[in-house]
Amino acid sequence: MASQESGITVIKKVYSNTINSLKNKPALFVPFIIFAIFESLALILLFLAPRMPLRLIFGPLIRTFWGERFLHYPANFLLLPKLVSFARMGLSIILGSLLTGMAVAIIWDIYNKKHVRLNTSFKSAFKKYASLFIVVFIFTLIFYIIVKIITASLVNYFMAGNSQLLLLGSQLWLGPILFCINFVLAVFIQSLFIYAIPLIIIENERLIQSIVKSFILFKKLFVPTIILVGLPMLIYIPILVLSSNASFLINRYFPEFILLVLFLSAIVTSLIIDPLITIPTTFLYLMQAKK
């Protein structure tokens, strides 16, 4: 009971620091706002992909990988969530890694009661961009590969003529169960690497050392880390369910409704979920480092 109370106290303190920082230092929102803007621009770009002149660039790619029909209305909206997912993945690696490093540098200044200078925080992250890029690339690639392997294995299992797995049918396995597996994997893998960026920015750790130490810290702070990463990601579940059922939305409402869902997803993810993961876990790291 004492350890549970201690854990609850730590999480409360972390969230208290997070709320106070966002309230007193609104500049902390800047990296997340920048990412939200770029993600929204990517969404608009992909929405306009079937139209000229963007069709000249995106048309051959869409035609090759998914087929001609996805360049036409309303089928283009069926493909849009998948394209946006790939775009966010790429942006997270290329731009998100840098902006997360910038956010951590800002948090470090706030923690030390220093004046926040956005250009200084950006330069601090930019100097270590290569390491930040590789860290985000590695855990994104690991998640993507594992999800693909599990999905392909389940699909092949049921396509081979099997009607059940562990007494459950294909509709459950390829629906809610696979969704839950992917969610748990996302929380676990992100938690494994979550302290690597603070270690790179704050402690000037090298790439490999930062990843190894992140694993060690995750093991040591397993429960609070899982809670701090997992709780914000629960917010994303309703949006993810909606965006993954594009055909239902088209039939129930209208094709353009998917665009509204994807815009909402970009805003919620960039301005709510990402800050509520990055900021609290960085404060948890700093509290642990202080000990």
What integer is the mean pLDDT of 226-246? 87
Rounded to 5 degrees, what angle do the CA atoms 218, 88, 248 make?
Answer: 110
What gap in Å lies between CA 164 and CA 122, rounded to an integer?
52
What gap in Å lies between CA 172 and CA 174, rounded to an integer?
6
Q: Which pLDDT does position 6 carry in this prediction? A: 61
Rounded to 5 degrees, what angle do the CA atoms 252, 47, 36 make?
Answer: 100
List pLDDT tens digits, range 171-203.
889 888 999 999 999 999 999 999 999 999 999
List pLDDT tens digits, range 208-234.
999 999 999 999 999 999 999 999 999
List pLDDT tens digits, range 41-95.
999 999 999 998 999 999 999 999 998 999 988 889 989 999 999 999 999 999 9
Q: Is the pLDDT of residue 131 over 90?
A: yes
What gap in Å lies between CA 225 and CA 191, rounded to an integer?
6
Residue 103: its H or E element? helix 97-111
Mean pLDDT, the chain, rounded, equals 91
Model confidence at 5, pLDDT cuts 50, 70, 90, reads very low
